[in-house]
Structure 1
């Protein structure tokens, strides 16, 4: 989101038109690591996170390098799609490993194209995934198109992933703007972890409720 230029109100004249927010605020639980999706900043940040996360393990330099490369690829892909920041968490809670991520993306309509309503996004999502859960929800930051789905990696996944991933996407309309803010949550979900995935989806929804628009 770009900072708007605030129109000055002239005494006795018409009120200044409303302007879009210059930023947003989002609260995440302790242990969620933030990576700003700036190519000049994420390499150092990712290296630091990998070294800190694996410092008490017997991970080899090759494993550390592979993990850092995978995270850099995630950052590059997210940035290319309009991502502005991502959050990563890898924790052990009660002897259960928990892994999840969040990518925040600013979506802009193509030039000379209207943004459309959030309900149009919901209709498009329903058309693409018959088994997906797509609803409109009211949240403190405004209405949102909510898309809950689970995907299994392709058999020829380049990273060798075989575990299904549960996703929760929430699309918000940026006030007084044609932009949309997308919160994309995800967590790996092997069959034995499906109850935990359901609990994490509830947590993801709680994080989305903390979204605030900043003047």
Structure 2
């Protein structure tokens, strides 16, 4: 009886170990092909789908990544077109990196159902939820874009800025500790550039405006009038 008990224990351990291995190693959904390029000392290789998932078909070519750490084999996440993901950047969940001139690198993360079709996502920036970023947008620093946020055109978001549900467009510049939430729409060449409350009142943000009023020049205007 003792031997039977020991054997049962051994079989149980083997079964648990096998289950653990299977859980840790999902079926691969892409492979690397003989098409690579260097960028800033990092060698990236193009990927090709091994099976159908979401809108990706088996055999479809994807973008370029540095290693399998950059793109998860789980979920429906994918790097499309000729987008590039490298260094410690991670794409997982159902996130999508699209377009032909896109770089995601540093420690940047994109996950959930987020879609990035911007220009650059880098540093420690995070894109998640149902956020959608498009056109020539740059997101860097510790910026976080999530929920149903929409960022487009030539917007630039950096530092510790947070955008949740809001719409950001045009040449808007969101920085410092700015926090934009639902029903806040920032667009075009908004003045001042949005950052901390202190930044809001700094003269430098108005200096380029044609309507900028400078008290120091009052005397010159008065002399001209005289």
Tell whether the structures are fold-level matches, with TM greater than 0.5. Answer: no
Q: Would you tell me which structure has more helix in proportion to its own residues?
A: 1
**Greater relative contact order: 1 or 2 (C-alpha under 8 angstroms, separation 6 or more)?**
1
Which is higher, the Rg of structure 1 or of structure 2? 2
Q: TM-score, normalised by structure 2?
A: 0.20
- TM-score norm. by structure 1 comes to 0.21
